[in-house]
Structure 1
Amino acid sequence: MGKEMEKLNSKIEKTKLAAKAADQEYMQTVKIAADATQKWNEEWKLACEKFQYLEEDRIEFLKKVLWNYANLITSICVVDDESCERIRVCLESCDVDKDIQTFIKERATGPDIPEPPSYVNFYAGSGENGTRYRRASYERNSMERKNNLLPPGTDNL
């Protein structure tokens, strides 16, 4: 029994030493894990701050670009509106009858219109060959134009 007791005491001593070594190794591992966790938390905080700065810069950039775009579109609309106003002013000064008369004075080809051709018997050797003209004299009927020549729905032109 004495030998067995010594064996058991020896095993207990070895187990105590192994437990103490395992405990020290465990404490070292916990310290390494704590240091790694601390370092990870610091780097995570820095990364979050960098991401936040990037996002703030992105939003500021988009804000500036959209602001400039809105100002550009507004200025274009103002220019377009001014151009349209000039068109409206010109249209208000438009007098159709006067414009037609001016066109006739400046671009008319003349008051003579050709007569319809007549039959000429060239075998008989008689007749005039050539175009004859007559003076144009037409009276314009405004109601006829309004009622007959314009398509429906355009009677206020």
Structure 2
Amino acid sequence: MLELTAKLLGGDSTDLTSTVGYDSIIQHLNDGRKNCKEFEDFLKERAIIEEKYGKELINLSKKKPCGQTELNTLKRSLDVFKQQIDNVGQGHIQLAQILREEAKKMEDFREKQKLHRKKIELIMEAIHKNRNLQYKKTMEAKRLYEQRCRDKDEAEQAVHRNANLVTQKQQEKLFLKLAQTKSALEDSDRSYQQSVTTLEKIREEWQKEHIKACEFFETQECERINYFRNALWLHVNQLSQDCVQNDEKYEEIRKSLELCSIEKDIDFFVNLRKTGSLAPAPVVYENYYNTQRNATPVRSPVPVPISR
């Protein structure tokens, strides 16, 4: 943590007013928050897909005929099949709700981090503003101080240059101007030094707060990466668990199919639709004239029993 803080502190370069390192941290944190939002949106979209798929499966199992005229054991297997497809659909709807809950947790985590981070950012913004204003004042005081130095040097040169060339009155004016420039120089020197002293106090405060901010941001980023990683892990586990639960439902179908008996279904159909155990008697030829001569009617042959 201290190593990262030092690097990012040094990342502001030799320019006291530069915020290159700080801006890099804030940009990285914003990117991390954006990445969490993208995963949150991904979960929401996945939830929509899961819910739609679940509802379609339920509608399919309830409304679409699937071997509706089958009998006995195969019919029971088909009933189990449609019921388990319905259950699979219900499972996808439940998964959709779980995904929405996970997305909400991610949103809450993002907003919580944003709220805590905002407090630190406001402090740093105020410190940066105060530091930059004082730096500007100090540079202005330095500029004025240097100008007063030049003015004093010019006044001294004028006194030395014109020592034997001007009248007494003119010399007095030159000495008066020199005295004025020295006085102005002393005032600007004091003001400049005071500005430098004030700036140094502000710089020390900024550095201290900058280090604290870096440590806070690094802690937040560790928490974010850990939370994001765990959220991904949980999501994959949820998908895996859904597959396991679906396979358990499909196993019920397989167990039902193992109980399906071709012989029993054939016997069931025969017993349900049978018309008797005797085949119809053969139709014999009957001579019309013979029938008229014989008073006794011709009897049909006896029906012959048949096997299956």
TM-score by length of 1: 0.59
Instruction: State the partner residue of 1:45.
Output: 211
Which of 263, 267, 275 is 1:111 aligned to? 275
How far 1:94 sits from its partner (Å)?
A: 2.2
Aligned to 1:80: 246
Q: Which residue, 188, 193, 196 being the options, matches 1:22?
A: 188
Residues 90-109 of structure 1: CA deviation (Å, up to 9, x unaligned): 3244234522432554xx36
**How far 1:26 sits from its partner (Å)?**
0.7
1:102-146 Cα distance to aligned partner (Å, 9 max, x none): 2554xx36639xxxxxxxxxxxxxxxxxxxxxxxxxxxxxxxxxx
User: What CA distance in whole angstroms lies between the structure 1 residues aligned with 2:269 and 2:170?
Assistant: 136
TM (norm. structure 2) is 0.32
Distance 1:82 1:35 in 2: 70
Root mean square deviation, CA, Å: 2.3
Q: 1:67 aligned to 195, 215, 233, which one?
A: 233
State the shift of 1:64 in Å: 2.4
Greater alpha carbon shift after TM alignment, 56-65 vs 7-16: 56-65
1:144 corresponding residue in structure 2: none
The alignment covers a number of residue pairs equal to: 110
* SS of 2:260 mapped into structure 1: coil
Q: Among the aligned pairs, what percent are the same residue? A: 35
Structure 1 counterpart of 2:216, which letter?
K
Name the structure, 1 or 2, with higher relative contact order (CA <8 Å, separation 6+): 2
In structure 2, the partner of 1:143 is none
Equivalent-residue separation in structure 1 for 2:176 and 2:263 (angstroms): 130
Bigger-Rg structure (1/2): 1
**CA, structure 1 residues 82+12, in 2 after alignment: closer, same or farther (shift >3 Å)?**
same
* Unaligned residue ranges in structure 2 (runs of 5+): 1-166, 277-308
| Consecutive unaligned residues in structure 1, runs of 5 or more | 113-157
Listed one character per residue, the Cα deviations across residues 28-73 of structure 1 (whole Å, up to 9, x for unaligned) are 1112122212211221221222122112112222222322222222
- Structure 1 position 85, deviation (Å): 2.8
Task: Give the whole-Å Cα distance in 1 for the aligned partners of 2:273 and 2:173.
Answer: 139
